[in-house]
Amino acid sequence: MSSTGASAEVVERLTRLRQHQQDGKRSPHKPLLVLLALGQFAQTGSSRLEWNVVEERLGRLLAEFGPPRRGTPHPEFPFTRLRSDLVWQLSRDVPNDSLSSLCEEPVTGQFVDDIETALEQDPGLIAQVARDLVEEQFPLTIAPDVLSAVGLDPGLVFRASGMAPVKPEARKRSSQWRHQVLEAWDQSCAFCGFDGQSDGAPVGIEAAHVRWFNFGGPDELDNDLALCSLHHKLFDRGVLGLSGGETVVVSSTFSARTDEGKRVYDLHSRMLRPRPGTALPSNEYASWHSQEVFRGMTLAS
């Protein structure tokens, strides 16, 4: 197999992981572990990670970027189960999901030998795999935060992989979608009303999906909002949400000390007021966001 073919095979193996993603449910556990190992390789030349490091760092990543599930994160699940994808190995045999076995004595995990060799021979693979994973698992508002958290430079990842071919099966975005969304919301933030312009063009206003595009969210006006850059990011991070598709809610996990930060509290219970004729987000997509993105409980009204 040519070096190009070998590299393509490695990308395929690391980005086609077995995940439980039925009915649009998010399950980024294995991808986050692969990203963490890629960050380790970029910094040390080896993907080897001790379990106690993974327990802390992957647990933190799952709590921050994973879906809002009840209970504590379970980093032991991907740490043991990634072996079934034939890309990961442990220094000693451990039953799947067994936290007690992992804690009995030291154990490390790392990519299998041929993947380690491929990453050594073609360092550009790190950026390509990392970009493919974050674009598949997260919206672009969050992707740089995830990359930084695993020890990868977002600028280098996207710059180095910028010429990588788009997967043929990837869904195509509508070329008119952003324009249609901004027009539907009068080129202003649906949450706070910000409507800044420069030379007549909106600045700091972005088209946002309620149900994420990479999790089946369509480019349709009942799945979209125009949001300022700040509130778009807070919406995708689960700090802001929707109740019934028409009322803004703020997560009780959010806190602020300054007057500027506390303005986010003022958004709680605010009704959306779209341009006449503009569809509000549907209950279906708002419910997906509540279940898969919004964090914790809402503030008390």
Contact 278, 226 (CB under 8 A): no
Note the pTM of the prediction, 2 decimals: 0.86
The neighbouring-strand residues paired with 224 are 209
Predicted pLDDT at 76: 97
3-state DSSP assignment of residue 204: coil
∠ CA(242), CA(244), CA(247), 5° rounding?
A: 50
Amino acid (1-letter code) at residue 44: T
Q: What is the pLDDT of residues 211-255, one digit of tens each?
A: 999 999 999 999 999 999 999 999 999 999 999 889 999 999 999
∠ CA(166), CA(285), CA(215), 5° rounding?
A: 25
Q: What is the pLDDT along the chain (301 residues), one digit of tens a residue?
A: 555 677 899 999 999 998 766 678 899 999 999 999 999 999 999 999 999 999 999 999 999 999 998 888 999 999 999 999 999 999 999 999 999 999 999 999 999 999 999 999 998 999 999 999 999 999 999 999 999 999 999 999 998 755 444 454 555 666 688 899 999 999 999 999 999 999 888 999 999 999 999 999 999 999 999 999 999 999 999 999 999 889 999 999 999 999 999 999 999 999 999 899 999 999 999 999 999 999 999 998 7
Per-position b or e across 245-259, b if 16+ CB within 10 A of its CB: bebbbbbeebeeeee
- Torsion over CA: 28, 60, 42, 135 (sign): positive
How far is CA 89 from each of CA 64, 112, 289, rounded to the nearest angstrom? 26, 6, 35
Domains of the chain, residue spans: 3-160, 177-292
Name the strand (E) or helix (H) holding 3: helix 3-15
Amino acid (1-letter code) at residue 87: V
Predicted pLDDT at 16: 92
Please count the residues of the chain: 301
Name the strand (E) or helix (H) holding 144: helix 143-149
Rounded to the nearest 5 percent, the helix, strand and coil shares of the chain are: 45, 10, 45
∠ CA(121), CA(124), CA(130), 5° rounding?
A: 120
Residues 6+ apart with CB under 8 A from 21: 27, 215
Predicted pLDDT at 7: 85
DSSP string covering 266-294 = GGTTPBP-PPTTPPPPPHHHHHHHHHHT-
Amino acid (1-letter code) at residue 250: V
How far is CA 63 from each of CA 82, 133, 242, rounded to the nearest angstrom? 19, 18, 21
